[in-house]
Chains A and B, each alone.
Chain A
Amino acid sequence: MSEVKVTKRDRNVIINPLVTCQPLGAMYAMYAMYAISGISHGLPLVHGSQGCSTFVRYGFSRHFREPSEIAVTSLHEDAAVFGGRKNLISGLGNLAARFHPDLIGVVTTCSSEIIGDDVNGFIKTAQEEIKDKLGEKAAEKIKIVPINTPSFVEHHFRGYDNAIKSLVDHVTLDPTNSNDKINIIPGIVNPGDIREIKHIMAMMGLESIMLTDTSDPFDSPLRPGATQVKPYYPKGGTTVQELEDSSNSLGTISLCHYGAQAAHSLEKKYNVPSVVGPFPIGLQNTDQFLRNLKNMTDSDIPDELLDERGLLVDSMADITSRYLFGKTAAIYGDPDMVTGISRFICELGMTPQLVCTGVENKEFVEEMKKVAQEANGIVEIMYGQDLRALEVQLQEEPVDVIIGHSDGRLIDRDLQIPLVRVGFPVYDWVGYHRVPIVGYRGGINLLDRITNTILGEYYDPVHWKLQQ
C-alpha cells in the first residue's frame, strides 16, 4: 500500500537552509541551565565572533519573545592571528564577576575551532584567575563546561546533542541513592511541550530531571516583584544539583534521536537505562512514551491520563473523516518532529506526501520508512535538503497543507498552500511556543490547528459547507 521515494540534495549550494550551525543547538540547551536558589545561575559564553551570539539571541527573541542573555568572547582580527586565549580567559572572568553564575557553558564556533584554541587549558587558567579574584569558595561554585560545537560539522541538532552530553559528562556526579526520577532529554522543543511532558509525568506520579528545561526560561512571567534583576535571570530551568543527580535516576528517555549521546553516556557510565524516541506526537508515539515511562518505573497509567487520550481519540473520531481524510501534507524541519508529525498525519487519515529535513541522516530515512508503512500513498522522503528543494518539489506536486516553521511562510504565499506553523522558529504568528504539540493534549492542539487551517482554506470559501 505504501511506497517511498528517497532524495538527497543534488546541488552543493544550499538555498534557505533547514538547519543552522551547532552553536545554536548548544545555546538552546545551555540557556535552560539554572540553579535552584534563584540567586546563581547558568549562562552560555560563545567563543567566537559577535555575530555567533547576536544572531542566535535575535532568533530566540523573535520566537519566544523573551530575553536571551548569551555572552560572547568577541573575537576580532588579533584573536584570529594570536588565538583567543585572552578573550576566553577574560570573558570567563568578567562573566563570573558580574553575573555570578553557577554554570558557564563555553560554546565553540568556526573561528575558535579553526584557530585551534585550547579551550580546556584556557578554562583551567580562567578558573585559577577567578579563584584569585573572587575567592576559592565563590570560584568553586562556578562550573565551567566546555562544549565543542564546530559549526562546519553537521548542524544545530548535533550542537544540542553535544551540549547535553558535555553537561552530563562534566557535571553529573557518581551515583549514590536512587532518586526515583526519570531523565528526559526533550530536544529542541517549545516551553509548552516541556510543560506537557511534565504534566503527563505528574499524572503518573513521576518526577523528572529535564536535560535541559527550557520551559520557564523561555516563557517566563512578567512579575517585577518576583523577578531577579541585576543580573536578570528568569525563573526555572534545570538546576546544577539536578544535573549532578541525573546519575541516580531510574532511566533516561531522549524524545529525539539527536539527544541520544547524553542518554547513552549516562547508561555507559552510570548504568542508567536509556530509551531513545519516539517523539511523542499523536496517539501511537505518545502511547509508546507512556509505556516507556511505565516500564522504567513500574508506575500505573492513571485513568485521568487515559481520559486525556480518550479526548484526543474522540476529536479524531469526530473530525478527521469528514475534513481530513485523504488530504496530503508536506512536513519539514526537525527530523524527529517530522517523523512524529508524519505518523500522526497517518493516524488522521491523511498522507504525509512529502517530508523534508535538512539533516543528512540515514536514521531519519529509516524512521520515515517505518512511518510510511502506515501511510496511504507514496511518501517522498527528502533528507539533507533545504527549503528551496521543498518549494520546487511542491511546485511540481502540490499538497493540501504544509506543516513547518515560519521560514516557509513565503512558500505558503507564493504557492497558495496553507502553512500550519509548528516547531522552531515561529516568529510571524504568536503563541506557538506556549501551546504544546506533544502528548495527547498536544495532539488535540495540533489536530485543531491542522483542521482549522484546512477549513479556512478549502471549506470557508464554500461557506454553506460549514453550516453544521
Chain B
Amino acid sequence: MPYDLFEVDKAIPERKKHIYIKKSDDPEAEIPSCNTKTIPGCMTERGCAFAGVKGVITGAVKDAAHVIHSPVGCTAYGYGTKRYPTTSSMPDGSEFPLENFNLKYIMGTDLKESDVVFGGMKKLRQSILEAAKEFPEANAIYAYATCTTGLIGDDMDGVVKELSEELGKDVVAFNAPGFSGPTQSKGHHVGNHTLFQHLVGSKEPPQTTPYDVNLIGEYNIDGDLWILKPYFEEMGINILSTFTGDCCHDEICWMHRAKLSLVRCQRSATYIADLIEKEYGVPYMKVDFFGPRYCAENLRAIGKYFGLEDKAEKVIQDRMAKIKPELEFYKEKLQGKKVWVFSGGPKNWHLPRPLEECLGMEVVAVSTMFEHEDGYEKIKQRAKENTVIVDDPNSLEMEEIIEKYQPDIMLSGVKEKYLAHKLQLPCVLIHSYENGPYIGFEGFINLAKDIYASIYNPVWNLVEFQDEVKEEPLELKELSAEEKSTLSAK
C-alpha cells in the first residue's frame, strides 16, 4: 500500500489515507485524500474561508474599502496579514490618493451580543455608509460575512444591493463565513464567483490592444507581480487586469475584454478564468513562473500564442544570462540538500522540480494545507519516487516527517517556522516569503539565496554547548572574493 499510517497518528487512523508515498507504478488515481473536513483537535495548520477570500483574493485590491461584518475579532485578524504591496498608479494614468490603502486599513461592523440576537443588518448598513464617508476616495466597498453573520443569517446581498445604488459605487458582499468548506480554499471559490458574478463585464477598459491579457491568480506577494510585469512589457503584452495583485477595482470589471487569461495560482483562481471563458469566450492558459525552466517555457508559450516568440526569447536569454553565475553558485552550495515543501497549495508542484533541477536539491516531502485532487495529481506527477506527499499535515506529523525524512530545510509558513527551528530545521517562509519576491528568474535567485542563508546559517554549527574545544575549526561559511562580489551585486 502506498499510504502510510504515522506513529503519531495511531489514535486517528483516518489520517492514513492523507499520507501517500509516491510510487511510479501506482495507478494514477492513487493520491492523498484531500479537501475533506479536518479531524478536530489534530493541530491542523489550516485556516478558514474568510481568510481565503479576504486574506488571499480581495485583500490585494488597492482601491476598495474592506468592511468585515463581524464582531471585532475577525476584523482585527484581517488587518495587514498577507504581504500584498500596491502602487498608487491607476490604469488611466492617475494616482490613487491613499497610499497603501489595502494594507493600511480594515473596517468592521463591530457586532455585539444584541446584534447576534436581533440581527446585524442595521449595523452593516450604517458601517458601510460610514466607511464610504470616511474614505470617499475608495472606488468600491467589499463586505464580508463571517461565522457570526453566517449563523444569524443576515441577508448581506440585500443590503449591499441597496447601498450600491445609494452610494453610486459597487458594494459587494462575499458570503464565505469561516465555517464554510473544509479550508480557506472555499473562500477562494466564493471570492472568484462573487467577483465574476457582480463585476466582470460591468465596465469597459480605457483602451484595448490586440495583446491584452488577464494575469489571474497573481497577488503580488512581496512584489512578485513587479518581477513579471517587465517580462510582459518587453514582450509587448499588455496586462489589462491582474486578478488581484496591485489591481484596482475597475480592472476586475473589465476582465472580459482580454484576449487571453493566464492563470498563475491555479488553486485559488482557475474558477474565474473558467467562468470568463464560458461567458465571454476568453480562452485561458495555465502558467507557471517559478524557477527559470518553467518561467522560460511559459513565456515561450505565451509568446507563441501572440506570435511574439522572438521577443519572448529575448526576455528569456537576457534574464538567464543575468542569473546564471548566481544560479551556479547556489547550485554548488545546495547540491544534495534535502528539502520539504509545505505550502498552501500550488507551490508544492511549482517548486520541487526547479529546486531539484536548478539547485541540485532533493525534495523528500511535499505537503499542502488545502490542495484539491487536480493539484495532487500535478504534485504526484512532478514528485520523485518515494517522496512523501501529505495532505493537511498536523504539527505532530510535522515532527515525524522531520524525523523520518531528515530534510535539511523546510519551505513553509510562519506558524510552522519556529517549531521547525526548535527541531533544528531551518525554515524559509514561502507564503509571504522572507526576502522575496520569489517568482520569475530573478525571484528564484532570491529564493535560492534565502535557502542558502538558512542552511548555511553559522548558528546551526553552534547549537549545543561543547565541553571541549574542537580541534577542527567550525565549518563556518567563508565566501571567496568572487562569491562576495556576485552576492553584493544583487
Q: Which residues of A contact B (CB under 8 A)?
A: 11-17, 19-24, 45, 48-52, 54-59, 61-62, 64-69, 71-77, 79-80, 86-88, 90-95, 97-99, 109-111, 114-115, 150-153, 155-156, 220, 222-225, 227, 229-232, 234, 358, 388, 407, 410, 414
B148 CB contacts on chain A under 8 angstroms: 110-111, 114, 151-152
A52–B178 contact, CB under 8 A?
yes
* A49, A77, A234 — most chain B CB neighbours (10 Å): A49
Task: Sort A-B residue pairs by CB-CB distance and give the 7 closest, nearest first.
Answer: A21-B73, A51-B48, A91-B41, A91-B40, A49-B178, A20-B76, A97-B11
B464–A51 contact, CB under 8 A?
no
- Bound together, the chains give a CA A67 to CA B423 distance in angstroms of 11
Judged by a CB distance under 8 angstroms, whether B163 is at the interface is no
- Bound together, the chains give a CA A155 to CA B50 distance in angstroms of 20
Q: Which of B8, B109, B146 contacts A12 (CB 8 A)?
A: B109
Query: What string of 1s and 0s marks CB contacts (under 8 Å) between B376-403 and chain A?
Result: 0000000000000000000110011001
- Bound together, the chains give a CA A49 to CA B181 distance in angstroms of 10
A50–B79 contact, CB under 8 A?
no
A225 CB contacts on chain B under 8 angstroms: 464
* A13, A91, A227 — most chain B CB neighbours (10 Å): A13
B147 CB contacts on chain A under 8 angstroms: 48-49, 51-52, 75, 109-111, 114
Output the nearest chain A residue to B50 by Cβ-Cβ distance.
Answer: A51
B179–A77 contact, CB under 8 A?
yes
Given contacts A61-B418, A94-B40, contact A80 B73 (CB under 8 A): no
Given contacts A87-B40, A91-B41, A111-B147, contact A54 B111 (CB under 8 A): no
A48 CB contacts on chain B under 8 angstroms: 147, 178
A13–B131 contact, CB under 8 A?
yes
- Bound together, the chains give a CA A115 to CA B150 distance in angstroms of 11
A98–B134 contact, CB under 8 A?
no
Least CB distance from B141 to A in Å reads 11
Given contacts A21-B73, A23-B73, A50-B178, contact A152 B40 (CB under 8 A): no
A51 CB contacts on chain B under 8 angstroms: 47-51, 74, 77, 147, 178
Judged by a CB distance under 8 angstroms, whether B193 is at the interface is no
B396–A231 contact, CB under 8 A?
yes
- Bound together, the chains give a CA A57 to CA B418 distance in angstroms of 11
Q: Total number of A-B contacts with CB less than 8 angstroms?
A: 253
- Bound together, the chains give a CA A99 to CA B8 distance in angstroms of 9
B395–A69 contact, CB under 8 A?
yes
Q: Which residues of B contact A (CB under 8 A)?
A: 8-9, 11-12, 37-51, 67, 70-77, 79-81, 99-100, 103-113, 115-116, 123, 126-128, 130-131, 134, 146-148, 150-152, 177-183, 395-396, 399-400, 403, 414-415, 417-419, 421-424, 463-464
B395 CB contacts on chain A under 8 angstroms: 67, 69, 231-232
B100 CB contacts on chain A under 8 angstroms: 410
Given contacts A50-B44, A58-B81, A232-B395, contact A74 B73 (CB under 8 A): no
A150–B113 contact, CB under 8 A?
yes
* B109, B181, B396, B418 — most chain A CB neighbours (10 Å): B418
A54–B47 contact, CB under 8 A?
yes
A55–B77 contact, CB under 8 A?
yes
Given contacts A80-B179, A225-B464, contact A110 B42 (CB under 8 A): no
A224–B414 contact, CB under 8 A?
no
- Bound together, the chains give a CA A195 to CA B9 distance in angstroms of 37
Output the nearest chain A residue to B106 by Cβ-Cβ distance.
Answer: A16
A73–B37 contact, CB under 8 A?
no
Q: Which of B47, B107, B150 contacts A15 (CB 8 A)?
A: B107
* A11, A15, A55, A223 — most chain B CB neighbours (10 Å): A15
B112–A16 contact, CB under 8 A?
no
* B43, B115, B127, B148 — most chain A CB neighbours (10 Å): B43
- Bound together, the chains give a CA A424 to CA B67 distance in angstroms of 24
B424 CB contacts on chain A under 8 angstroms: 222, 224
